[in-house]
């Protein structure tokens, strides 16, 4: 495949089909070929999506009838007036004025009047209903009766004028009103139209009144000092309804104490649990018992008692004694409630977190010591091959051997060695191909070049060999930018501000606090997004993004509307009213937290976990450092609004470089500073405004907010599949033979397996697609990972043909923007790759990802890397959609697809 790629131009796509369909005249039948490649499935799916969006628009457009209360007062004045000509003009003016005041009431609720939101839910149709009644029924011309309406609308009008959205905000509310009315009023409409529903509403009001009365009564008892907070459940209870532990003076309510009193304390880990057993005349919890059992040879294991057998009074540690007390202290919860004793299972071939700060950490990572939490079963993939493939794997770490290099010494330029270092590959000649570069390696390459002040163009991803790539790098001009901007604002895509993207690293050498402070200061100054905060309330982000989805519905359902002046007016209003983020001065004291010195690596990591639970995340950026003898553990946390999984590549490399520079400066040596980065929000603003204008020419529209609620469920079936190092090597070698990235091969196997379960000729999928096609995009600290929908062609192709077709779709960005409705009806696939490089001694600590407890998609497949040589595939199925037999069939099809891609890629898929 790689040799075929060299023979065709770089802008040509390579497909592989079993045969070429021909017409009776002998020519190639282009239509039949498109059908074989699955293009008709894409057109059919687009037509179905357009029909669904049109039907959804007709449903929500009916909610414009809720605006009628704004016309009641003006209509009455028009009917009782004597001069109907002037009364009609006055009526139109009053309706427009009331509509403007209604929109400013919404704006004021987002800024100054947010404390009223909990009370407005008692009004029919929730907040829109209350604001409609206020704007439609209160007097508007008569003093002093119009003061309540004018005073409540003044804050919103002032903020609209101050933020330059005074005239554009009413247009935004007009677009988004049916969605707001539907979401807030559907429950009221369903219950007000039936007698049983009215009874339900009455019971709801009674329950809310009882709840408010209980909260008021609880507040009174708390102020009078008659209640105490339970240390375990954190609930306020009467002082007489609880007990205090005489050992640590913690107070517990009766429910927690009755459960707590029955526990036994393990003398090894000091944990309190119900599950345990005797080990050499000593009672241990189930976790320590299993660890002791696995640590000795089978013949040396003493006679064990029956599992969950409680020891007698002479052999067991003392129970907790129940006494009354009045003092309360704060500290870690002293008990660990264990509902199930399931011993952990070793994951074959997985890497482990270092057991100490010594060099035994690397040995542990290679010996497969990573274990899964209790209650989580890891299921290994079983691939049965027709022949032994151990001697045919070849080299998967680079392309030199695969391209027939003789291994002779060649003169490598600085750019050559830089490419090898970023990609982790070794090249023997300029003709070595680059067809297996995945998204993680390409992001690392762009990040490495940006630290040299060069921006790699998007066309570099289509380079076929090393020579073409080095040619583009050689002619790149130096980038000049100024990231020292403070007080500037940019439009941004607002979501998940409080959500966290977190990573952990450890360095086996001590780092002084002054060095770390100066490095963090430079890191925040270099990346503007690390010191940006929303300049507008987060509710405005949600409202205006939902308005963009409604506008998208209008454009898809009515092409004439998309070409009209109304569409242009809506686009201009959305761009003018779009909420923004603002850069502030770097504040190292609020970002960096140095924890006390710990005795060992394990305790330092445990201290980080404890601090993360006790100290809530303060966006946008936090960095905690837990030192231990001989090293430090670093926890980096970033808001998900400005980050995705790829952001750790530039962040860690920059942090490691800045720490090394500060250490050299402390020794009196000279350093070469990193060049300034362009502001990433400038690129985001251009992309965002293209999406608002409906311009999809560059193929990078922002994923719209879904308009149909629901989808999440906790009723799921989960499977955790482990891919051994040997199987990973076989998969990489198979991808190398087909000249596609590893992730494309996995996506092929997953898509074919889903198609077989659903018995379809093509399978629709949602994938996470990092949009890093523009200069400096790889270092963007912004949520640039978007959902994209694509169809995996299956019918009429063999496995190699499906893989090459998917490679063309991903390489050429032939996927499409998902619709604003039914986003949760399509399976979802995500690749969470981990960069295991160690810049300046900073080593990653892989985070364990177990089975999912909920899902929004019918099938959710996530591929993770617990170590460099091992993969895991987390599969989650909705129980109401898929039976246990279908889940087993999917796993069997996945094993069969991977086996065929490795051993016989020309086998037919169906």
Task: Answer whether 743's CB lies under 8 Å from 768's CB.
Answer: no
Last residue of a domain, one of 622, 646, 671: 671
Name the residue with higher pLDDT: 499 or 322: 499
Q: Which pLDDT score, from 0 to 100, does residue 242 have?
A: 84
Q: Which pLDDT score, from 0 to 100, does residue 388 have?
A: 55
In the structure, what pLDDT confidence band is assigned to residue 884 with cuts at 50, 70 and 90?
Answer: very high
What is the rounded distance in angstroms from the CA atom of residue 549 to the CA atom of residue 553? 6
In terms of average pLDDT, the best of 4-13, 171-180, 440-449 is 171-180
Average pLDDT on 413-442 reads 76
One domain for residues 758 and 810: yes
Of 2, 899, 898, the C-alpha closest to 436 is 2
Task: Answer whether 391's CB lies under 8 Å from 731's CB.
Answer: no
In a domain, 422, yes or no: no
Q: E strand or H helix at 621, and its extent? A: strand 621-628
Q: 620 preceded by cis ω (within 30°)?
A: yes
In a domain, 816, yes or no: yes
Q: Which pLDDT score, from 0 to 100, does residue 138 have?
A: 85
**Overall domain count for the chain:** 3
One domain for residues 872 and 744: yes
Average pLDDT on 125-131 reads 90
Q: E strand or H helix at 483, and its extent? A: none
CA-to-CA separations, 95 to 73, 83, 84, 133, in angstroms, rounded:
9, 18, 16, 13
CA-to-CA separations, 899 to 177, 244, 655, 759, 903, in angstroms, rounded:
53, 61, 41, 20, 6
Q: Each residue of 149-192: pLDDT tens digit?
A: 888 899 999 999 999 999 999 999 999 999 999 999 999 998 98
Q: What tokens appear for 662 in the block?
A: 């500060």
How does DSSP classify residue 597? Answer: P
One domain for residues 718 and 860: yes
In the structure, what pLDDT confidence band is assigned to residue 645 with cuts at 50, 70 and 90?
Answer: confident
Average pLDDT on 826-849 reads 86
Q: Each residue of 750-808: pLDDT tens digit?
A: 999 999 999 988 999 999 876 655 555 555 555 555 788 999 999 889 999 999 999 88
Q: Which pLDDT score, from 0 to 100, does residue 448 have?
A: 73
Distance from the Cα of residue 752 to its chain's centroid: 25
Q: Is the pLDDT of residue 406 over 70?
A: no
Last residue of a domain, one of 647, 671, 695: 671
Q: Is the pLDDT of residue 455 over 60?
A: yes
What is the CB-side half-sphere exposure of residue 413 using CA atoms within 13 A?
A: 12
Alpha-helix runs per DSSP H in 389-433: 414-423
One domain for residues 21 and 69: no
Q: Which pLDDT score, from 0 to 100, does residue 585 have?
A: 87
One domain for residues 821 and 890: yes
In a domain, 540, yes or no: yes
One domain for residues 766 and 899: yes
CA-to-CA separations, 94 to 65, 139, 301, in angstroms, rounded:
18, 11, 89
Last residue of a domain, one of 180, 198, 216: 198
One domain for residues 774 and 650: no
Domain hosting 538: range is: 489-671
One domain for residues 726 and 788: yes
Average pLDDT taken over every residue of the chain: 80
Q: Is the pLDDT of residue 119 over 50?
A: yes
In the structure, what pLDDT confidence band is assigned to residue 17 with cuts at 50, 70 and 90?
Answer: confident
Q: Is the pLDDT of residue 258 over 80?
A: no
Q: Which pLDDT score, from 0 to 100, does residue 376 have?
A: 58
In the structure, what pLDDT confidence band is assigned to residue 395 with cuts at 50, 70 and 90?
Answer: very low
Q: Is the pLDDT of residue 383 over 60?
A: yes
Question: How many angstroms separate the most distant Cα atoms in the chain?
Answer: 107
In a domain, 367, yes or no: no
Q: Is the pLDDT of residue 321 over 70?
A: no
In a domain, 246, yes or no: no
Average pLDDT on 365-370 reads 36
Average pLDDT on 555-567 reads 88
261 by Cβ neighbours in 10 Å (0-12 / 13-18 / 19+) ranks as: middle
In terms of average pLDDT, the best of 412-421, 474-483, 693-702, 736-745 is 736-745
In the structure, what pLDDT confidence band is assigned to residue 262 with cuts at 50, 70 and 90?
Answer: low
Question: Percent of the chain at pLDDT above 90?
Answer: 29
List the Cα angle 619/625/630 in 5-degree steps: 165
Cα dihedral 797, 800, 803, 806 sign = negative
Q: Which pLDDT score, from 0 to 100, does residue 784 have?
A: 54
Q: What is the CATH number of the domain that holds 855?
A: 3.30.559.30
Q: Which pLDDT score, from 0 to 100, does residue 681 have?
A: 86
In a domain, 793, yes or no: yes
One domain for residues 743 and 773: yes
Q: Each residue of 657-678: pLDDT tens digit?
A: 999 999 999 888 888 888 777 7
One domain for residues 660 and 716: no
Q: Is the pLDDT of residue 304 over 50?
A: no
In a domain, 208, yes or no: no
One domain for residues 72 and 34: no
Q: Each residue of 502-519: pLDDT tens digit?
A: 899 999 999 999 999 999
One domain for residues 648 and 723: no
In a domain, 528, yes or no: yes
Residue 464, strand partner residues: none
Q: What is the CATH number of the domain that holds 555?
A: 3.30.559.10
């Amino acid at each position: 495949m790689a040799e075929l790629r060299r023979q065709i131009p770089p802008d040509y796509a390579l497909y592989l089909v079993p045969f070429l369909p021909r017409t009776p005249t002998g020519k190639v039948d282009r239509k039949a070929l498109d059908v074989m490649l699955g293009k008709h499935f894409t057109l059919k799916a687009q037509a179905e999506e357009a029909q669904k969006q049109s039907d959804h628009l007709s449903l929500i457009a009916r909610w414009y009838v809720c605006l009628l209360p704004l016309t009641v007062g003006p209509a009455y004045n028009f009917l009782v007036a004597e001069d109907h000509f002037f009364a009609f003009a006055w009526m139109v003016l009053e309706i427009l004025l009331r509509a403007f005041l209604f929109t400013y009431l919404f704006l004021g609720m987002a800024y100054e009047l947010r404390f009223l939101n909990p009370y407005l839910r008692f009004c029919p149709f929730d907040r829109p209903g209350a604001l409609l009644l206020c704007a439609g029924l209160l007097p508007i011309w008569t003093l002093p009766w119009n003061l309540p309406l004018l005073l409540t609308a003044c804050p919103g009008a002032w903020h609209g004028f101050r933020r330059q959205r005074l005239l554009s905000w009413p247009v935004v509310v007009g677009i988004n009103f049916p969605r707001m009315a539907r979401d807030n009023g559907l429950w009221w409409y369903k219950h007000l139209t039936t007698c049983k529903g009215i009874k339900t509403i009455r019971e709801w009001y009674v329950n809310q009144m009882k709840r408010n009365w209980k909260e008021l009564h609880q507040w009174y008892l708390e102020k009078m000092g008659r209640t105490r907070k339970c240390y375990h459940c954190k609930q306020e209870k009467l002082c007489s309804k609880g007990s205090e532990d005489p050992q640590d003076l913690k107070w517990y309510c009766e429910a927690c104490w009755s459960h707590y009193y029955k526990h036994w304390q393990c003398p090894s880990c000091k944990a309190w649990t119900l599950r345990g057993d005797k080990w050499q005349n000593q009672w241990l919890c189930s976790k320590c018992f299993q660890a002791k059992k696995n640590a000795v040879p089978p013949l040396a294991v003493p006679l064990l008692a029956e599992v969950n057998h409680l020891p007698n009074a002479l052999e067991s540690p003392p129970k907790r004694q129940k006494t009354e007390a009045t003092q309360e202290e704060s500290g870690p919860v002293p008990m660990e409630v264990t509902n199930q004793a399931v011993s952990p299972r070793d994951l074959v071939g997985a890497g482990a977190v270092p057991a100490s700060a010594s060099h035994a950490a690397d040995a542990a990572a290679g010996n497969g010591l990573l274990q899964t939490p209790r209650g989580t079963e890891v299921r290994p993939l079983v691939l049965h091959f027709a022949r032994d493939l151990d001697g045919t794997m070849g080299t998967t770490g680079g392309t030199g051997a695969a391209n027939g290099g003789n291994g002779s010494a060649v003169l490598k330029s600085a750019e050559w060695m830089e490419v090898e270092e970023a990609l982790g590959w070794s090249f023997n000649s300029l003709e070595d191909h680059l067809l297996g570069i995945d998204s993680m390696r390409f992001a690392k390459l762009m990040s490495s070049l940006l630290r040299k002040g060069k921006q790699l163009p998007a066309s570099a991803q289509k380079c076929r060999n090393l020579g073409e790539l080095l040619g583009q790098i050689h002619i790149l001009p130096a980038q000049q930018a100024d990231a020292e901007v403070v007080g500037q604002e940019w439009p941004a895509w607002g979501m998940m501000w409080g959500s966290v993207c977190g990573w952990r690293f450890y360095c086996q050498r001590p780092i002084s606090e002054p060095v770390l402070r100066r490095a963090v200061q430079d890191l925040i100054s270099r990346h503007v997004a690390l010191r940006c905060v929303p300049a507008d309330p987060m509710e405005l982000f949600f409202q205006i993004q939902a308005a963009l989805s409604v506008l998208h519905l209008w454009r898809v359902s009515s092409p004439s509307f998309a070409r009209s002046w109304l569409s242009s007016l809506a686009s201009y209003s959305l761009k003018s009213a779009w909420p923004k983020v603002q850069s502030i001065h770097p504040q190292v004291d609020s970002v960096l937290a140095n924890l006390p010195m710990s005795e060992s690596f394990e305790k330092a990591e445990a201290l980080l976990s404890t601090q993360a639970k006790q100290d809530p995340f303060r966006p946008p950026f936090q960095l905690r450092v837990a030192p231990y003898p001989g090293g430090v553990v670093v926890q980096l946390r970033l808001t998900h609004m400005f980050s995705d999984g790829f952001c750790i590549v530039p962040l860690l490399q920059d942090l490691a470089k800045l720490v090394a520079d500060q250490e050299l400066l402390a020794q009196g040596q000279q350093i070469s500073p990193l060049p300034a980065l362009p502001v990433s929000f400038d690129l985001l603003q251009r992309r965002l405004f293209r999406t608002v204008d409906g311009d999809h020419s560059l193929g990078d529209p922002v994923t719209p907010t879904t308009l149909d609620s629901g989808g999440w469920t906790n009723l799921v079936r989960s499977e955790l599949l482990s891919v051994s190092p040997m199987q990973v090597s076989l998969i990489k070698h198979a991808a190398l033979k087909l000249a596609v990235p590893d992730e494309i091969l996995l996506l092929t196997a997953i898509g074919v397996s889903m198609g077989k379960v659903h018995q379809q000729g093509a399978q629709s999928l949602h994938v996470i697609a990092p949009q890093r096609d523009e200069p400096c995009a790889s270092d963007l600290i912004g949520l640039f990972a978007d959902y994209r929908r694509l169809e995996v062609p299956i019918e009429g192709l063999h496995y190699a043909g499906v893989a090459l077709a998917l490679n063309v779709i991903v390489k050429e960005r032939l996927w499409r923007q998902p619709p604003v409705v039914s986003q949760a009806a399509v399976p979802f696939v995500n690749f969470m790759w981990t960069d295991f490089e160690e810049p300046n001694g900073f080593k990653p600590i892989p985070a364990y990802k177990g089975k999912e407890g909920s899902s929004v998609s019918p099938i959710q497949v996530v591929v993770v890397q617990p170590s460099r040589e091992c993969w895991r595939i987390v599969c989650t199925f909705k129980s109401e959609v898929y039976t246990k037999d279908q889940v087993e069939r999917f796993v069997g099809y996945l094993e069969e697809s991977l086996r065929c891609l490795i051993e016989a890629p020309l086998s037919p898929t169906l």
